[in-house]
Amino acid sequence: MDHHPPLPTSPTSWPSFCSQPLASGDDSHSAEELRQALLRTTLELESTRFIAHEELRRLEAHAHHLSHLLDLASRERDEARLHAHTLLLLLDHRHRPAPASSSSEDESSPAAAAAAVAEEEMDAAARKRGLPEKGRLLEAVMRAGPLLQTLMLAGPLPEWRHPPPAMQGFEIPPVVMNAGGRRSRKGSPELDSENKVSF
């Protein structure tokens, strides 16, 4: 015996008949399709998220590499700027004439102070080392290279406040040497008359 609902006898009752709910088999089929669609959407979302994460990591690594290159370029620029500044100072010192200023201005300027310090260092080194041995003058000059470079960077030496009087060539007493190798001016009582050798 069939249990199907009876067909409507009147056309006015057809819409209500067509709007009746589907069977349970159709409901399970629609739910399965929805689950499949949701799974596909979830997989696509995870794939998109993974791709975006990898792209972000790649961009961060590229930015770090660019920052490292920028640091290297900045360091090389600073070194080149310092080297160029040093060369310009040396070039300016070689081509700059000595200024004819007063002694008070020379003493108050930083270049004069640096030159005075360098001159004191040179005097101290000369007193400590003494005169170079015969045949080693070039070696002594090479050893004094850093000090000479300091003098070049310091600028011109200050002028004499009270310069000594100029002496003519005939006014300078000749230097004489005895047989023992000691030097003295002519007329010194340290020399014997028989050991004098005039220069």
Number of neighbouring beta carbons within 10 Å of residue 20? 8
Whether 82 and 109 map to the same domain: the answer is no
Helix (H) or strand (E) holding 64: helix 24-95
Question: What are the φ/ψ torsions at residue 189 (nearest 5 degrees)?
Answer: -75, -5
Tell me the residue range of the domain where 150 lies. Answer: 104-157
State pTM to two decimals. 0.30
Whether 69 and 115 map to the same domain: the answer is no
Cα(32)–Cα(43) distance, integer angstroms: 17
Report the pLDDT value the prediction gives residue 44, as an integer from 0 to 100.
94
The larger pLDDT score, comparing residue 27 to residue 34, is at: 34
In a domain, 180, yes or no: no
Among residues 73, 105, 89, 99, the alpha carbon closest in space to that of 153 is found at 89
In a domain, 114, yes or no: yes
Q: Which of 42, 72, 92 is the last residue of a domain?
A: 92
Lowest mean pLDDT: which of 16-25, 87-96, 139-148?
16-25
In a domain, 78, yes or no: yes
In a domain, 54, yes or no: yes
Amino acid at 113: A
Residue 19 corresponds to which tokens in the numbers above?
A: 């709007």
Number of domains forming the structure of the chain: 2
Cα(32)–Cα(121) distance, integer angstroms: 96
